[in-house]
Amino acid sequence: MDRNARNALHQRQTHIGRQARATQAVEFFNVLTSPGLIQTTEALLPEHRERLYPPTVALSMFMRQVLEADGSCQKAVNGWAAQRAADGLTPCSVRTGGYCRARQRLPLEMPSTLARETGRLLSERAPAQWLWRGRSVKLVDGTGISMPDTPHNQACYPQPNTQAPGVGFPLARLVLVICLASGAALDAAIGPHSGKGSGELGLVRGLLEGFCPGDVMLADALYCNYFLIATLLGAGVDVLFEQNGSRITDFRRGQSLGTRDHLVRWSKPATRPQWMTPEHYACFPDELTVREVKVAHRVLVTTMVNHRKVSRDDLSALSARRWNVELDLRNLKTTTGMDVLSCQTPQMNEKQLWVHLLAYNVIRLLMAQAASNAGVDPRELSFKHTVQLWTEWLSRGMSATKDCGRLFTLIAQCRVGHRPGRIEPRMRKRRPKPFPWLKVPRAKARRKIEKHGHAWETK
């Protein structure tokens, strides 16, 4: 790079840093202007005029909005107007139109690339003591997310066919790849909840490029699929899944490695999947050698076949840590409110999804730094505690860059309990209010009330 190009790059980065430090309202964006991310951030900024909501401010407000208990645009705009007044800047309108248009102008590539990049940096820089036997373990799991009932959302993510038109909500399927060591979200794929190619296996195939030789994929029994295992094995990636219920395990077959522990050959399915071309099907090996081991009344399947290097106790302990992905999904869906997206179009909902993941990774970044300073594993720290502390920290005008020592100390004080083998019923004790279900479109229900009154008024 010549001298003029270096000067121009330095000027752009200085402008981004000065713009990010303008007020405390963009403290979220300050985290993304660290030396490791400044070039990525600079490359993703779109061409823009100096507005009330430039891309740096709009993205920072969007990230803070998804972490607030009141995630409305009005709350975000009110906070920005109050912060401007506290900083002695010119008062601005508290109408939400300008902010909503600024969110629409944000390119999807900006939050999605920053989310992937922050996840990658967190995963790559994890200390050796956070890894499993020196290897990077990546958790994979899927879930469903809902969104407002609009024609655009219904066209892209149709509601389940068991629900009547006008009564249900658009439903999307999401598959996430999460780093076991740091908890960071590495990648994601979203698609319709039903229809051809919409299953979790179909979505995860688009995420396999993010796996590197030496990685380990840890997932549930749904992913215990011949073609997925063969694809990962060919890329140098090991797997650990629970045995799929459709496959029968017979420990009398194969090469015995110990009690309820053996190597067995799986034959390639004779039926070619519909999504696979004949040429692609022919490239897969006719057989796979996998290891099956029974621990705690479960059969585990893995490609780590050397029982002297990886014992059954190692596999059992690693399999138990798969539950972390369920906790991570709960943090995303419940703590940050990602279970129900709020935008009116699928394009904006996808953008909101990636902003959720970016904000989630920023919290994980703070947790990783706090854990490193305290000499503990980041999985021992509370995600919700960090979110609450971080939002309160910002609301009082404090900075993570200037007051980082005190912030990290407070984050590391709250530890989660060690609860091995915990079992909880998926039930609710507190009953909801006894209102009937809305089983007709809302407009039709309003007309019925106008004509006949509410149900309790007619009794």
Mind listing the pLDDT tens digit for each residue in 357-379?
999 999 998 999 899 889 999 99
The CA distance from 389 to 377, in Å, is 19
Q: Which of 133, 233, 223, 229 minimizes the C-alpha distance to 180?
A: 133
Our CA dihedral for 300, 303, 309, 310, rounded to 10 degrees, sits at: -20
pLDDT < 50 stretches in the chain: 9, 12-13, 15-29, 458-459
pLDDT score recorded for residue 103: 93
Q: How many whole angstroms separate alpha carbon 20 and alpha carbon 332?
A: 26
| 140 vs 329: CA distance, rounded Å | 11
pLDDT at 23: 37
Whole-number pLDDT of residue 400: 65
Question: Which parts of 275-382 fold into alpha helices (H)?
Answer: 278-283, 312-320, 323-330, 346-374
Backbone φ/ψ region at 88: left (φ over 0), alpha (ψ -120 to 50), beta:
left
pLDDT at 16: 42
